[in-house]
Each structure stands twice: as structure tokens, then as C-alpha cells.
Chains A and B, each alone.
Chain A
Amino acid sequence: MAAIRIENLRKGFGSLEVLKGINLDIADGEFVCFLGPSGCGKSTLLRSIAGLEELDSGSIRLGDRDITDLRSAKRDIAMVFQNYALYPHMNVRKNLSFGLALNGMKRDEIDRRVNNAADILRISELLNRKPRQLSGGQRQRVAIGRAIVREPKLFLLDEPLSNLDAGLRVTMRVELAALHERLGVTMIYVTHDQVEAMTLSDRVVVLDRGKVSQFGTPLELFYQPANLFVAGFIGSPRMNFVTANVVRQDRSELTLSGGGLARDLTLETLSSAVIAKDKPVTIGIRPDKLELVSPEEAHLIGDVRLVERLGTESHVHIGLENGADMTAVVRGTHPVSNRERIHLRIPAEHCHLFDADGKAIARALDTETQMLINQEKSKRVA
């Protein structure tokens, strides 16, 4: 069984530093996603754990072993590649058994493992086919099968579903979750798709320009983003941001004004630390929490630029008076139309607050949400 501890991991290519001191503790049996935009270093981090990249500094421990300088084959890991990396000239059985046979494993043991993996992934009838005779989903299963037969302590998956079409991706996602449940092995999964990350993971590592921006459960990331990057990255449509200044502070109660606000906004924080009045703060509000109100109640005033009607809900794109853009999610049948003047209220209880450096200023969550997050965390520990 294997937990992973990564300490101060650094990796660069030439003068470009891709990973800038990564520290992570992943528990045994956990399903963890590395999530981030292109170029954030998530694949490099995964490849470093796999032993496919040489580290500049730092260490990686798997279970009680230091695997930093160990050859890839000796690390007790298996990896699934984005483009499957199946050997095109070998049939499925050969693809699954190739590595095992060359490591001197006995014939019966190889057969047992191959048949077992084929059963789990329902590819038994495909064993004699070549990869080119398989569909995308079947190839992906074979690629996962090749990892299963190694019976590794750690599974590494590099965007394994990104080459599949949308429908198949959903099916495979469910299958992957079931597979993790069944095998109970630690899995690390790289993706740029937040839906995949949110639905599959026990915890998500959000990476931004080579650094861990936040490491938490999916709901934590959504409801308690640690900074502006995570707040903007998690959730679709993305969170709206409005700048404002603190005009009054009474311990933990702040009154915000100016910037993009048409009316003062008062809210409570969890801290009574003094916030500088000369530096702007950023208010974050999810599109579905914005309320359409009468002009006198409005915190924000703007014009509707575009209404996207999706059926259950409609996305209203708004240009604010100060030039900023905003999105509001309203019910599908709301009569709002293009070029209409619109008045929005920011409910204080639903907004996030970030200081001038983009760090979150902690706020209390409603009891229901807090309970959900606690539940998620306790499930992980169990």
C-alpha cells in the first residue's frame, strides 16, 4: 500500500522552470487529480513521479521507499498515456503481456493477470485483435488494462479520456471511478477538464504556473477557493470579479464601495485583521448567485450583451458601466433580452473576498455547505 509524499520538487527545461517547488502528501488509496490550464506543469509533475523526467531537486517517496532516483520500472507504478501508446503491431493480449513476459514472469501468472484485467475491463473477446481494429473506447480500456496487469502500487493517468468523444468520456469516467473503487489503489489523474476532476477525485491539486495553487476536496475548491486563480478556474461559467475598496471596517464587518459597485456592500469575514483602505479588494460572485433586482437595490448596473438559452437555465452576458464583463445565470424562461439595461444585487452571504494579492479573505459558509464539505473530508479519511 502506498501513500505519496513529494517534497520541494523542482524541474526545469533549459532556462524555463516548469515546476517551482511542489509539496504534496497524497494518502494511500486516494484518487487525486492534477488540474490546471495548459502549460501549468501538471503533466511534467506526473511524468516526474513516473520517472520519465529527471528532477532538478526535491524528493518523491512512495510508501516507505524513496523513489526519487529509482528507475521508472522499479518504482512499482503503471502509467496510462493520453494517446494510449498501444503497440500497434501487437494484438491486445501481447500488448497486455509484453512488459510482464520480458521481466521473466511465468506463463501461468501472465495468463492469470491478463485474463483478470480483460475480465475487469470487459475486453476478453478483443484479446486477439490489433489496436487498429478497436474503437477509441476499447483502446483506452486496453491501455488501462496494461496498467492493471502490472498490479502496481500507484496508477498514473495522463489525460486518458481527452481523445474520446463527449458521450464516451462520460461512460469511461464512470468506469474509472468504479475501477478505483474495485482496486483500491492510489491513482493520480492529470486533466484540464474540471468536470472530470470534480467528479472523479477525492482531492484535487490545482496547479498554476508550476506551483500548487490549492490542494483540497472538490467542494472545498468550489466553495472555499484559496485565491483568485482557483476561484476563476473552478466552476463554469466562471466566477465574476468586481473590484472595490474597503471604506469602513468594524472588526470583522467590512463595508465596500467604489470600483465596480453602484451601491455599498456590507459583509462579514472570519477575521478581524485590518485591511488596508488604499488597496482594492476583489469581490467574487458565482453567476448563479447574482440576483436581478430593481434599480434602487442594485450593486451592479450594466447592459445585456448576449443571452445564451440552454433550456433549464440561461447565461446572460453583461457589460458593466465601468467596462467590466459579467455573467449571470437565470432560469431558462426568464424574459431578459439583448441590449436591455440590467440591475444586479450581490447577496453578501454568497460572495467571496480576495485581498490585493489575490488571496482569499476567509468567510463563513452556510451550515449546509459546511456540512457537505466536512462529509467529503471525513469520507476521504475513512
Chain B
Amino acid sequence: MDMTYAGAEAKVARRKRSAIARYAAPYLFISPWILGFLFFTLGPLVFSLTMSFYDWPVVGERTFVGLDNYRSMLFDDPQFWESLWITVKFAAIYVPFNIIMSFLLALMLHNITFASGFFRTAFYLPSVISGVALVTIWSWIYSKEYGLLNFMLSLVGIDGPNWLGDPNLAIVAIIIASLWGLGGTMLILLTGLKAIPKELYEAATVSGVPGWAQMLFITLPMLGPMLLFTFITSIISAFQQLTIALLLTKGGPLGSTYFFAMYIYDNAFKYFDMGYAAAGSWVMFIIVLALSLGVMRWSAAWVYYEGEVRQNDGEGHA
């Protein structure tokens, strides 16, 4: 009798344990990510927002200043507007070039049958090189006297300019160096191209639709979601441009490559005004967010999503 009772009790306890395990298990499995997100993403985010309302030197007294950081940045700091303007200029050139060149490369890789794996790797390779190494390579390429670029120009009789010393050319040099890493964008578009059913082109071919029209009316619309994605990520990466400018030109010459991210960086690590830098970061966040939302809204007119829910699908499956 006792034995049976003890057995039953053990069974209940086991069941209770297994119920807890059942509910907790999924959360335990994702806990590394949740902890990482709390400590390394959400935490710093909230922290930086708080910071932006303070006069927050690295050492010394912190004082609450409310919206003062934002006010003085927007109304009393010409450098803010200048750096923002340079960033916008950069983005306006970099974003379309990045997408168009990635698209053309992807198209080329999609259509070649010879050694496509080799070319795919070759074009993607620059994207895996770390930023600093990449900039070092480009500083050699751009060097006025010993640079590869000017050497190549000299072969065709052109006396190469001082790429990094000319205020008008320095930003062009940075755009070209940034475009070197378009492998990621290219890969996304290549995947998109490969996902377009070839029957769509065959149907068009049989109907006598010329190649340019197939590109315009089939390829581009079918790539819509990928183009939108790369458009938005390109805008974000353009606004975050820091490494190349910091190492290649240090914002010069004459501040011609003084990007917004560098302005934030300088406030934080040169002038040690963490509150002001945090406010700058939030301004950048809001600008990027607004741009992204604008692009998303505009995209409704030209992006088609295959995955949207079908109606009236009672008949047949397919």
C-alpha cells in the first residue's frame, strides 16, 4: 500500500517537472540570443538614449540637460549640417551606383556558364576583407606618386591627380573604395535572379517579347523585394560610412570627406562629449528610419511580393 502511494507521489512530481521543462525548454534554447540582445542591443540603445539627454563627459560630473544637446546640434552647430550634407551627397551617389553595379554584375554572373563559381567568389572576396586591410590597399592604390591607379593612368599618358589631396576628388575616391565591397549586394540580387522561373522568359520569348522588354517588365519587377532590401541597406550603410573616410582621408582635405558618422565619432572620442555624440547617433537613427519608411511606402507602387496571401483558392492546389 505504502509502496503504491510513494510510487504515485513520485509520478506526480515527475509530471510536474516535465511540465516545467516543457514550458521552459523553448525559452532556454533561445536564451543565449535573448541575453545577447538584452545586453548588447537593447541595453546600449536605451543607455544611449538616456545619455543623449545629459551633458556626459567621459570623466567628471554628468548633468541632465534635457533636449539641449539636440537643440544646439540643430541650431548652433554648422559642422553638423556640413557633415550631414557630405553624407547625403555621398549616399546620393553611392546608393544608386551600388545597386546598379551590383545588378549588372549579378546579371553577368547569372548568364555566364563558364567558371561562374570562380567569378562569383572573385567578386565576393572584397566583401570578406576587413575594413582596415581594405583601406590600406586603397591608400596604396590612390597614392599620388606610387599608386597603382596613377601608374595605370600614366600608361595611357594621363598624369594622375592627387586623389586623396583634392577636395573634389577625395569623396569620389571614397565612393569607389566603398563600391569595392558590393559583393554582398550582388549576391542578394544574384539569388533573386536565380529564383525567377525561367518559364517566364520562355513564355515571353515564344510571345515575341524582345530582350529589353523582358528585362524591364519581368526581371526588374520580379526582383522588386530584393531591390528594395538592397536599397534600404545601402542607404543605411551610406549613412554609417566611417572606416574608409577615417583611415583614408581623416575627414579631409578641407573637411570634404567629413561624414556624419565621423562627426559623431569625433564628439565621442576626440572631444569626449558622450551625451552630444549619443544625441548625434539618435538624429542619424531618425533620419535613416524616416528615409527607410519613406522608401518602404514608395515601394508599395513598384514592389510585388509573391508570398502575399491568395484569395479564392478553394479550387485546385498548385
Contacts and interface: CB of A to CB of B under 8 A. Distances in A.
Interface string B298-316: 0000001010101111111
A99 B207 contact: yes
A59 interface: no
A103 to B, nearest CB: 5
Contacts of A79: 202-203, 206
B318 A164 contact: yes
A99 B209 CA distance: 6
Interface in B37-76: none
B1 interface: no
B34 interface: no
Contacts of B207: 73, 78, 98-100, 102-103, 146, 150
Interface string A93-109: 00000111011000000
A139 B312 CA distance: 12
Q: Which of A77, A133, A137 counts the most B-chain CB atoms under 10 A from its CB?
A: A133
Contacts of B210: 102
Contact of B208 (A82, A88, A102, A164): A102
Interface in A33-75: 50-52, 72-74
Contacts of B315: 135-138, 168
A103 B208 CA distance: 7
What class of interface size applies to chain B in its complex with A?
20 to 34
B316 A137 contact: yes
B306 A73 contact: no
A89 B199 CA distance: 15
B213 interface: yes
Interface residues of A, number: 38
B221 interface: yes
A375 interface: no
A72 B221 CA distance: 24
Contact of A52 (B206, B304, B316): B206
B317 A77 contact: no
A122 interface: no
Given A88-B304, A132-B310, A135-B315, 6 more contacts: A50-B206, A98-B207, A100-B207, A102-B213, A135-B314, A136-B313
11 contacts: A52-B205, A72-B205, A72-B208, A78-B206, A83-B318, A85-B203, A99-B209, A134-B312, A138-B315, A140-B316, A146-B203
Interface of A: 50-52, 72-74, 77-79, 81-85, 87-90, 98-100, 102-103, 132-140, 146, 150, 163-165, 168
